[in-house]
A and B are shown apart, each in its own frame.
Chain A
Amino acid sequence: MSGADSQAALPRPIGSAGPLPAAIDGIRRVNRAPALLAGAFALTVLVSLPLAVAMRGLLAQHLGDSLAADSAAGGVNYDWMQEFADQATGLGVTFKPTIIGFGAVLDNLSAFLDNTSRPVVVVAAASIYVLGWLFLAGGIIDRLARDRATRASGFFSACGVFFFRFLRLAATQWIVYAFLFGAVHPWLFVGLYPRLIHDVTVERTAFMLRVALYLVFGVLVATCSMIFDYAKVRAVVEDRRSMLGSINAAIGFVWRNAAAAVLLFALDFLLFVVAIAIYGLVAPGAGGRGLMVGAAFALGQVYVAGRLWVKLVFWSSETALFQSRLAHAGYVARPEPAWPDSPAADMM
């Protein structure tokens, strides 16, 4: 029996947090670590900026010295957008009206739920981005779990320690998500859904059936996501080396604390919905020029930061819940490394 399992067998500590306190605690921990948000934001910008620069080049090249650029700069030149789309290849094919304002959010949410394929270059960027998160995850969860400043050395030490462990975890994740998106989704939406609506003549009914399948698929993805989150949390907090063991332990934790874990996930998901809803209300269009362009971009970045904050709150609140149930706030099994003994320093 592992130490973690021994802990799991102990009676619940008195005063263990429920989902709402865990969520609040999670929010508090993220707010006390603004560097984490800044780092996540920096990663997002680092991955997206080169592609944005490349896209800028494509657009500028197509416009050339044309007067069409005037109307494109000052508003929306839809005719030009269509001309561009007609000759676009590679990255350029993603330049469509759906990128404007809240359309971007709907497009991506819809693509996620409908399992829409993306161009190779976007998939490559997303893979690099996910890799970046895998690297940062150990440091982020370690910082959130300790709930005190770990400084760069401590942060990157944890990143280094857990990166290869999380790569192994990611292999399992990849298999599970590949199964969900590659087998379950087609079964639900290509196989089952057409059969369910075969004789349906009312669009509203068909939509409700689709929503039901979205819920089924969403619950499956959310469940897996939650388990993998707790696997990371347990790996960091309990300094686990076996990722299969972490997954097993995470399943055990979620199983024994199902109500709390699910409610907490729902609360965090509510934050996600609120972030999207707020952006839906304020998302700018594309009609502006000059400073308005900058303001629209800034608003977009605030939204991206908000989404990143929500992602951190997921991990943070899950860490808080786990610590409150099986340990105590701030508990991390692995001692905080001190420079220059950290693995990161060794690598240097």
Chain B
Amino acid sequence: MPRMRLASFAALTFTLVTTTASAQPTATGTLDPARSPRNASYTITARLDPATRTITGSETITWRNITQKATTDLQFHLYWNAWKNPRSTFMREQALSGFGSEVVRRPDEWAHMDIGSVTVGGVDRTASRRFVNLDDDNANDETVMQVPLASPILPGATATIAVTWTAHVPRTFARTGAVGNFFFIAQWFPKLGVLQEEGWNCHQFHSGTEFFSDYGVYDVSLSVPAGWPIGATGVERERRDDGSHTVHRFYQEDVHDFAWTTSPDYLVRTARFEHPTLPPVEMRLLLQPEHERQAERHFDATRTTLKYYGEWFGPYPYGHITIVDPAFQSGAGGMEYPTLFTAGTRWLAPPRVTTPEGVTVHEAGHQFWYGIVGSNEFEDAWMDEGFNTFSTARAIAQVYDPNFLVLRYFGGFIPWVFRDIALGRETEGNRLAGYRHDARSDAQSTPSFRYFPSSGGSITYNKTALWLNTLERWRGWPTLQRIMSTYFARWQFKHPKPQDFFAVANEVSGQDLTPFFDEVYRSSNVFDYGIADLKSVREGDLYHTTVVVRRYGEARWPDFLRVVIDFRNGKQVLELQRWEESDRWKAYVYDGPAQALSAQVDPNGVLLLDVNYTNNSKTLAPRSGAAATKWSTQWMVWLQECLLSWAALA
């Protein structure tokens, strides 16, 4: 029948087009249709002078007010002013977290960003600009510039903003800067904050948090010394000589930042990611010569990310990705930018150790949690870092299991792999040890930039990864996968807030998970359930067994808590009870023919946030003596070795 044939033909054509589209590289920098509002687009021209470490730039920002309110000012991030002197908020916070040595720098190793001019709609507003510091009233902080407007920008209206500036490239701070002839340039241009219904979201630069900005189109022309390989956000569309320099023009749609790097030392390698159901991705690797043999490890880890994150959460849409292997001492490793990230490896990188794979998967993973889902890293850093730490551990476990502990000696150069210690996903991958140490330092709902600087990372990265993995072990991976993929699909190229994720979680799981989020997100309480007592004594023909389970921590598990008691005759009793707010302990009593052997609370380790696993069980046949003997003899050999080192001087 003609109609059916037409439908079949249309379906076939659609399939062919789809297949062809997914089979062809889409590395043009364009995304059609637009994925984001594209309300903050930048056309930038900049020139790097490596000798003076100076960047001279000009930009034209096409900005559209997508809120319902008019704005009477513009607010810009001038991130590099955080490294102008030790009095900035960034430097003060860094000193608070114990990185005081950062201030011992030569004068030319600091940074600054000086604005030449600002015009809005052709009107010069240079003279009206001023620095604001709403986070902490630090008058010495110059990382946020406010420009009052001659006339308000109304909802839906578009403004054209032109800015010129010069900046001095520092010796690396916060993964940005130069060492030798290696340059990694990020957060380098005057950048608008995000206008929300509540006003501008444009925080000062803090030492413990990262960035937040609107999506747009970036068209950036960079002039660097001729012959220096360059990597940047987007796709290189044009290249032309300019005397001793070469101008490279990069273009990318639907991204919210732009970073770049150049160095004459880079080796350039390329590879391709292909997958039956995901779009292909061209991979470009800028590699340090001393890591040449590790090229495939970088590609393999990136493929792992694109595959698993793509399958679990959603496809990577850009068609290209640039992997940067930063130079030794550059401090630029382990950072994400749209379509580009820095990995980080070592000269000696043994197999079955996740260097460089761990950092590569993590930073590539940020293309999803940060790049595509654009949460606010100032206020809710856990939404990208924590989600990504969880996802990284899960992806690593798929491909790089087992991987082993490595310690480095002799100034940190010489690795030694401890093949006795296979690193598990649940505890090592999610970084339980760090969380345990800092568990009470801050409630996760505190704005991230207000976390205590030295412990904020544990709350941001580790705690989130642990509670997501707990959620996985509690509700099952299929449920969590649907939660995360739904959240990804619903909030890609947008700016979700915590309640947006919680709403998706409740909706998809079909369960009110609020009590769980109350504990893990809204409080700094810790989980610590333990077996306080286990007795099993003969009374007549029977054994009288008493098990006391105690809640040592303030946090309360919102579901049934599992307790397992094993008896010597092989019988096992499972207790499932819900603990109320006032419950601090529960006792279980049994009279039976066999003596109890052991009792365990949460025997399957569902509650990964429990800060003390050792007290989760008790046995009446303890082997602590044997274990202590074994480990104290190991330690004794170490001590004897230590004594011999000293005796060498006797």
Contacts and interface: CB of A to CB of B under 8 A. Distances in A.
Given A76-B421, A103-B416, A48 B647 contact: no
A137 B647 CA distance: 11
Given A48-B640, A63-B614, A109-B645, A286 B622 contact: no
B649 A98 contact: no
B414 interface: yes
B175 to A, nearest CB: 15
B647 A201 contact: no
A206 B329 contact: yes
Contacts of A221: 649
B288 interface: yes
Contacts of A82: 427, 432-433, 436
Contacts of A191: none
Contacts of A112: 645, 648
Contacts of A125: 639, 643
B437 interface: yes
A118 to B, nearest CB: 7
B624 A60 contact: yes
B636 A201 contact: no
Interface stretch (B176-184, B360-368, B503-511): B176-184
Contact of A203 (B290, B627, B645): B290
Nearest to A71: B627
Nearest to B649: A177
Interface of B: 179-182, 263, 265, 288-290, 327-330, 346-347, 405, 407, 409-411, 413-414, 416, 418-421, 423-424, 427-428, 432-433, 436-437, 534, 598, 600, 612-620, 622-650
Given A64-B624, A203-B290, A99 B644 contact: no
A285 interface: yes
Interface of A: 44-45, 47-49, 51-53, 55-57, 59-60, 62-70, 72-73, 75-80, 82-86, 94-95, 97-114, 118, 122, 125-127, 129-130, 133-134, 137, 170, 173, 177, 189, 197, 199-204, 206-207, 210, 214, 221, 225, 285-287, 289, 293, 296-297, 300-301, 303-304, 307-308, 311
Contact of A103 (B407, B613, B646): B407
A204 B289 CA distance: 11
B108 to A, nearest CB: 12
Contacts of B637: 99, 104, 297, 300-301, 303-304
Contacts of B263: 201
A144 to B, nearest CB: 16
A172 to B, nearest CB: 12
Given A84-B614, A106-B410, A311-B647, 9 more contacts: A65-B620, A97-B421, A103-B416, A109-B645, A202-B289, A202-B327, A203-B347, A221-B649, A286-B420
Given A52-B633, A304-B640, A311-B648, A66 B420 contact: no
B641 A66 contact: no
Contacts of A199: 179-180
A80 B409 contact: no
B633 A300 contact: yes
A114 B643 CA distance: 16
A288 to B, nearest CB: 8
Contact of A73 (B413, B627, B641, B647): B627
B636 A48 contact: yes
Contacts of A72: 623, 627, 630-631
Contacts of B409: 106-107, 109-110
A107 B409 CA distance: 7
B640 A44 contact: yes
Given A110-B410, A199-B179, A59 B600 contact: no
A303 B289 CA distance: 40
A146 B620 CA distance: 60
A171 B614 CA distance: 47
Nearest to B636: A52
Contacts of B649: 130, 173, 177, 221, 225
A52 B598 CA distance: 29
A131 to B, nearest CB: 9
Contacts of B645: 108-109, 111-112
**8 closest residue pairs by CB, A with B:** A300-B637, A56-B632, A63-B624, A201-B327, A60-B628, A110-B409, A52-B636, A104-B638
Contacts of A84: 614
A122 B642 contact: yes
Nearest to A288: B630
Given A108-B642, A200-B328, A95 B635 contact: yes
A69 B627 contact: yes
A83 B436 contact: yes
23 contacts: A45-B640, A52-B632, A59-B624, A59-B631, A65-B619, A66-B624, A68-B614, A70-B627, A73-B626, A77-B627, A83-B614, A86-B437, A95-B635, A109-B645, A110-B409, A133-B650, A173-B649, A199-B180, A202-B290, A202-B327, A207-B411, A289-B626, A297-B637
Nearest to A189: B411
Given A105-B641, A129-B646, A86 B625 contact: no
B618 A130 contact: no
Nearest to A82: B433
A48 B615 contact: no
A270 to B, nearest CB: 15
Contacts of B328: 200-203, 206
Given A53-B632, A60-B624, A286-B634, A201 B614 contact: no
B614 A80 contact: yes
A133 B648 CA distance: 10
Which interface residue of A52, A105, A129 has the most chain B CB atoms within 10 A? Answer: A52
A134 B647 CA distance: 9
Contacts of B636: 48-49, 51-52, 55, 297, 300
Which interface residue of B329, B420, B631 has the most chain A CB atoms within 10 A? Answer: B631
B619 A55 contact: no
Contacts of B616: 66
Given A134-B650, A202-B290, A304 B641 contact: yes
B268 to A, nearest CB: 17
